[in-house]
Amino acid sequence: MNDPTTYDVAIVGYGPVGASAANLLGQSGLDVVVIERDPDIYFRARAISVDEEVLRIWQQVGLADRLNADMQPGSGADFVGVDGRTFATLLPTDRGNGHPPQQFIYQPAVDQVLREGVDRFPNVTVLLQHECLRVIQHADDVELMLADLTEDAFTRVRARYVIAADGGSSALRGQLGIGFVGRTYAERWIVIDTRVRQAWPGHDRLRFHCNPTRPTVDCPTPLGHHRWEFPVRDQEDDEQFLTDDAVWKVLRRQGVTEDNVDIIGYACYSHHVRFAERWRAGRVFLAGDAAHAMPPWIGQGMCAGIRDVANLCWKLDAVLQGGLPATVLETYQAERLPHVTEVTRRAVKVGRLIVERNRWRARIRDHAFRTALRLPRFTAWLRDHRWLPDARYRSELLAHNGNDATGWLLPQPWVTDGNGERVRLDDVIGRGWAILHTGPDQPWQSWRAAGVPVIAIAPPGSAPSPGGVVDTDDALIRWMQSKKASVVAVRPDGFVYAAGGRHPLPAPPAGFTATPRVRQPA
C-alpha cells in the first residue's frame, strides 16, 4: 500500500456523467481524481440524444460547439400507428438556451470529446483500469481502496468528497448500503447498432412504430450510424434474436437491407424505473444512473445525470473554496429529485403509448390522436405535458420574495457584449454568480461587497458599453418582464437564486462570498 494522495474530489466512473463532472471541477481548479475500471471508452452507443440545457452545461466548459459538430439536429418524433401511418408528431421546442432543442448523438464520439476536454486540466488525474474496492469515511475525507488492474496491485487515494457516477449497478451504492427501489420491466429489448451505407426514405427521422405485433424504435444517429430497438415477447427467448440472421429479419421488415447498412453490434437490455433511497452518504454523492434509472423513451437518462453533476459540482466547488457553508450540499438531492421524478414519469407514459399490446385499444389511440391534433392547442399541450418538464427549482437554495422569476433557469439569448461582439449570455456571465438588471443601477450592497459582478441589460439598438450587454433580440428583457423582475441574482448553474421588482432583491445566502478564500477543510 502507498501513502495516499489527497484530492478535493474523487469521481468513480468515467462515462459521460463522470467526464462532465471532471470537466466542471477541473475548470474550477480543484484537484480531482477520476477512477475507471475499463481501459477505454465503452464501444456501444447507449444514449441517443441530448437537449439544449445539457449542451448549455457543456458550453460552460468550452465543449458545446465541438460536441455539436458531431451531432445531428432532431426534427421531432413520429408516432406511427397500426396502419403504418403517423398519428402524432412531437416537434422539439426551443426553450431559449442558445442551442438546438434536440440533437441526436453517437455516444462513443461524445465520450471521446468529453475525455479530451478533461485532458486540458493538469489538476485532474485519470486512473483507468482501476477499480474502487472499498470506501472508508473519515471525519474530514474519504479513503478509497483501489485495485490497479494493470499490475494486480492495490493503492489508496483520499478525497474530501466523492462522486459515484458508476452506473445503474453502482458498486459504491452497494458498499454504502443504499437501496435502489422501484421496478425492472420483465420485457427485454434488443438494441441494434448499424453503420449506414446507403440512405433510405425516412432514415433521418426518429420514429416510434406503435404496432402491437412488434413495437419498434427507429432512430437516426450521427456520423453515419442508425439504431433500432424492439421488445422480446414473454414466450420468446432473447437469445434467438441475438444472431445476424435474426437481426436482418427485423431490419428487412423495416425495409432496410444489406445495401443500406452494416451491422455493428446488438445487445439485450432491460428497462428500469428506480431511485436510490438517498443520494448522499456522508461525503459520497450518487449521480446519474447510480442515483436513478428511467426508461429510454424520451432520451433523458444520460441528460438527467449531466443535470445532476451541473447542480452538484458548483456547490462542491463553493464549499471547498470557502464560498458557501457545507450545509449547501444538502440541497443537491432536494433540488434534483423532483425534476428527475417528473422526467421519469413522462418517460413511462410515453412508453405505455408506444408498447400498447391490445390491437383495438391501439386503433382507438391512433384515431383519438388524429382527431385531437386538429385542435390548435392540443399539440402544445402534448409537447409541454408529455416531453420535458420546465427547468425550474421550487425550493432549497433560493430566496423567495414573491417574484415569479425565482427558481427558473435563466434564458440564454445571443447578446452583444461590451466589445461589440455577438456572444451567448453565459459566455459573458462566466461560471460564477452574477446580478443582471434591466432597470436603473442600484447599490445591492451585500452582493457588491461579496464581489458579485453586476451586468446591465440594454434593449435592442443600444450602443455596447463596458459592464453591460445589449439584448439583441429582446428575449431576456421580455422574459424578465413576464416574471415582473427588473433584477435577478443568478447562481453559477444559471438558475435564478433571487429576483427583485416590486420587492427589493434579497441578500445572498448566509455565509456567502463570491471571492474564493484560501481553502479551508470542509
pLDDT tens, residue by residue, 416-462: 999 999 999 999 999 899 999 998 999 999 999 999 999 999 999 99
Q: Could you tell me where the DSSP H helices lie in 387-500?
A: 425-429, 445-449, 475-482
Q: pTM for this one? A: 0.95
**Across 11-15, 100-104, 158-162, 411-415, least confident range:** 100-104
Please indicate, yes or no, whether residues 38 and 123 belong to a single structural domain of this protein.
yes
d(CA 501, CA 504): 7
Indicate whether 339 belongs to any domain: yes
CB 517 within 8 A of CB 322: yes
Indicate whether 173 belongs to any domain: yes
Please indicate, yes or no, whether residues 151 and 293 belong to a single structural domain of this protein.
yes
Please indicate, yes or no, whether residues 434 and 310 belong to a single structural domain of this protein.
no
pLDDT at residue 17, rounded to an integer: 98
Indicate whether 362 belongs to any domain: no
Please indicate, yes or no, whether residues 47 and 150 belong to a single structural domain of this protein.
yes
Task: Fill in the amino acid letter for 249.
Answer: K
* Residue 193 cell numbers, joined: 447498432
Indicate whether 258 belongs to any domain: no
**Where is the domain boundary, 315, 348, 381?**
348
d(CA 145, CA 135): 6
Indicate whether 124 belongs to any domain: yes
pLDDT at residue 515, rounded to an integer: 67
CATH of the domain at 171: 3.50.50.60
Please indicate, yes or no, whether residues 334 and 418 belong to a single structural domain of this protein.
no
Indicate whether 509 belongs to any domain: no
Domain count, the chain: 2
CB 30 within 8 A of CB 9: yes
Please indicate, yes or no, whether residues 138 and 63 belong to a single structural domain of this protein.
yes
Burial class (CB in 10 A: 0-12, 13-18, 19+), 114: buried
Please indicate, yes or no, whether residues 57 and 172 belong to a single structural domain of this protein.
yes
Q: Say if residue 516's pLDDT is above 90.
A: no
Please indicate, yes or no, whether residues 326 and 467 belong to a single structural domain of this protein.
no
Q: Say if residue 377's pLDDT is above 90.
A: no
Please indicate, yes or no, whether residues 334 and 428 belong to a single structural domain of this protein.
no
Indicate whether 369 belongs to any domain: no
d(CA 315, CA 329): 6
Tell me the average pLDDT across 285-295: 97
pLDDT at residue 382, rounded to an integer: 74
Please indicate, yes or no, whether residues 340 and 440 belong to a single structural domain of this protein.
no
Domain containing residue 286: 5-71+106-181+275-348
CATH of the domain at 467: 3.40.30.10
Please indicate, yes or no, whether residues 423 and 301 belong to a single structural domain of this protein.
no
**pLDDT tens digits, one per residue of 211-261:** 998 899 999 999 999 999 998 887 788 888 889 998 998 899 888 999 999
CB 257 within 8 A of CB 251: yes
Please indicate, yes or no, whether residues 30 and 136 belong to a single structural domain of this protein.
yes
**Where is the domain boundary, 348, 371, 397?**
348
pLDDT at residue 44, rounded to an integer: 78
Indicate whether 513 belongs to any domain: no
